Each structure stands twice: as structure tokens, then as C-alpha cells.
Structure 1
Amino acid sequence: GMAMANQAASRSHVPVGLLMVNPKPDLSKLEDILQYSFADKDILQRALTHTSAVSPGRRVNDSYQRLEFLGDRILGLVAADLLFKRLPDAKEGELARALNSIVRKEACAAVAIELGLGSFIQMDKSEARNGGREKPSVLADVCEAIIGAVYVDGGFSSSFDFVTRIFSAHIAAADKPQIDAKTKLQEWAQGRGFPTPQYLEIERTGPAHNPVFSIEVKIEGFETIAAQGPSKKTAEQSVAELFLRREGILET
């Protein structure tokens, strides 16, 4: 079986791994959804190809990982540019929080779901059977990879327009004044004579270039609570907000 598959693959130049996946998705249908037409269809194909769908030796060139790396940076730059212009009076910390609400994996996964990207993702059968096409982490990665693909295919202005369009709802929501949860918690604690909230880093996971910080907040007399974030600052804001919501100080 495998030898035959290998022969067939070498004849048709299809990477062996791709023999296991769903038939090639209809890229023109996806281009309609994305409202962007690729000059190089192969790059769109690569942006949709999970590592499980290609043989290990081809992963660097045939899966979405490199495009995802690029798309992540493009998304951050476009979002920062838009926020810088739209929030002329925002402090650096407020801009950072607004930016995080746009570029975080949950937002990218939500955009991928809105666009219906899941059905276009190429992955091997077992990965797909295990719900791979619905995994938020995979959906977020593919969303970023497509942004990277638009940038490589059409240049910066194409990717700028593309991100502005597909993230419009998230960018608009980020404009809303973000609560500074740490300050609010500090004021609440002081106002009631409680000690100052203490923030402790309890864990750091993930690779150096993409760490996840777990921070817990302690106020004497209250149960501790923890939250995660891509930086200590954002994790501290998240955990302060969780505390405020748990104690009913912030409306959910």
C-alpha cells in the first residue's frame, strides 16, 4: 500500500501526506469569502495546510507555520496603526490593552469562525476526526497564516485593507474605553481598608518568543484567583478583572 502510494505521489508530485486529506478545497469559493483574489494560489493552499497533512520533511515549505509567524506580526502592526490613529488620547498602556484584545488567539479564532475557515483546512484524517478543524488554536493559526499569505501575495497595502476588513468588529470593540482593572481593584481595596492587592507570577509556559504568564492576585481575606496572558501586564489586568467580576464589583 505505502509503496504504491509513494509511487503515485512521486508521479503526481503530491506530497505523500496530502493523499490522506479531504479533497482540495474550492479555493475560489474561499477567495470570494475573503474578498481577495490570490495571484499565487499555492500560497493560499499553504496557509490552509496543517502540519499533520504533510510529511515531516515538507513541513517547513508546505504547511502554514511560517506564514502564521508572518501574519501574526502583520496583524499586530495593522492593529497598532489603526488604534494609534483612532485613539489619539490613549496612553501607551491603554493602547497595549486595546491591541491585545484584537491580536489575542481568541479574537483570531473568532474571526476564523465568522469567515468559516474550518472547512477549508487541510489536515490528516485522525486530526480531523479529533475535531482539529474546530480547535480554536488551529483556527487562530490559519487566520494569521492567511493574513501572512495576503501580505506575501499582494504586499502591505493589500494586507492592511484585508485585516481592517476582517477584524473591523474587533477593532471597533477595542475602541471602547477599556477598564483599567488593576487601578479599579486597588481603589476598591483601599476604599474598604483592605491591604494592597499582591500580584504573583505562579507559572511561565510556552516558548521564549511566545510565553504565557500565569499570575495570581492575593488580597488578604479573599480566595486567590489566577489568570493567564501573553505578558505579565496583560495577565495582571486579566486577573484583576476576574477578581472584580467574581466579587460582583464589575457587572459581567
Structure 2
Amino acid sequence: MRQSDAGRRDPGVIEERIGYAFRDRALLTRALTRLAYTLEAGLPADAHMDALATLGDAVINVAVVEAVIAKGAHDKGAITNRKMNLVNMTRLRALAEDLALADYVRWGKGEAAQKVWTSGRVLAECLEALVGAVYLDGGMEAAAGVLRRLGLTESV
């Protein structure tokens, strides 16, 4: 349900849904901005989510492994298997869909026309970017709290 920038939903709703209020709202905006939009709008090279998605992927992995270990796992293979079962594109995409994250992302025109969020890894990357932004804004504890509230690490 891609909306024009003027009609795009208030990203503050995402803060309510994840239970985290950004001190630096620019990080939230960046986490919700695709590279294609940045290029089309003539925004600075660092105004899109890609780096945040890479960071968020790592943060999610650390948070999940920490949660698995905290629940008593000690075998490397068991920890790895549990992490792989919890952190995958399908699971992250489902969490993004539950947040209606696609409604808040600034998509490029071609992405919007193709509705790229309806297939593949795109929404999972958007969720990773959001987690990366939370990490930069509030640290590991804040990011782990968001993942707990979303239910990712509650089922460890």
C-alpha cells in the first residue's frame, strides 16, 4: 500500500509499534528510505537504509544468539541451529508485515510501481534497517528490547 510522500503515514506510529522512541529521528527517517528514493530525490549518498540494514542484520544475529545462550544453550551446533531457525528472511519479513512497515518506507517510483515489498527479501531488509537504526540510537539493549517486543527472541 505505497503512498505518495505527502500521504505517507506518520513514522511515529512505527515507534509506538516497536515500543521505542528515537532520540535522533533522522535515523528513523534513514531506516525508512530506500536507495532508489534517495537517488530520485537527489538526497545525500548516506540518506538511505542500506548500511543500516547491514548493521541490523548483525545486531539481530547477536541478540538472538545472546537470547539462546541465556536460555541455557551451550552447544555451538545447537546455538547455530536455533539462530538459523529464528533469523531467516521469512521470519523477518513476517515481522515487517505485522508492523505494516511497507506503508512507512519511502520507495523509489519503480519500486512502488512494481510493489517490490510483496516478494523476496525487501521487507526483511527494511526490518533489518530499522533494527540497525535502533541500535545506533539506543545501543544493544534498546535493539534487543525491540526484538523481544516483536516476538523474535521471545520464542527462543
TM-score for both structures, normalised by structure 2: 0.87
For 1:25, the aligned partner's letter is: R
- Looking at structure 2, the residues matched to 148 and 95 of structure 1 have their Cα atoms a distance apart, in angstroms, of 23
Aligned pair count? 152
TM-score for both structures, normalised by structure 1: 0.55
| Pairing 1:74–2:74 present | no
* Residue among 81, 85, 90 paired with 1:101: 85
Larger RCO (CA within 8 A; separation ≥ 6): 2
Q: What residue ranges of structure 2 are gaps of 5+ in the alignment?
A: none
CA deviation profile, 1:122-162 (whole Å, cap 9, x unmatched) = 11222112112323411000100010100111122111211
* Higher Cα radius of gyration: 1
Higher strand share: 1
For 1:75, the aligned partner's letter is: I
Match of 1:127 in 2: 111
Match of 2:49 in 1: 64
Match of 1:149 in 2: 133
Match of 1:22 in 2: 5
**How big is the alpha-carbon RMSD for the aligned residues of Structure 1 and Structure 2?**
2.1
Q: Which moved more, 1:145-154 or 1:22-31?
A: 22-31
For 2:151, the aligned partner's letter is: F
Instruction: Give every structure 1 segment of 4 or more consecutive aligned residues whose post-TM-superposition deviation is greater than 6 Å.
Output: none
SS in 2 for 1:25: coil
- Looking at structure 2, the residues matched to 164 and 50 of structure 1 have their Cα atoms a distance apart, in angstroms, of 26
Match of 2:29 in 1: 45
Judge conservation of contact 1:118–1:134 (CA < 8 Å) in 2: no
Judge conservation of contact 1:60–1:66 (CA < 8 Å) in 2: no
Q: What residue ranges of structure 1 are gaps of 5+ in the alignment?
A: 1-20, 176-252
- Looking at structure 1, the residues matched to 139 and 112 of structure 2 have their Cα atoms a distance apart, in angstroms, of 32
CA deviation profile, 1:67-94 (whole Å, cap 9, x unmatched) = 0111111100010000012143x52112
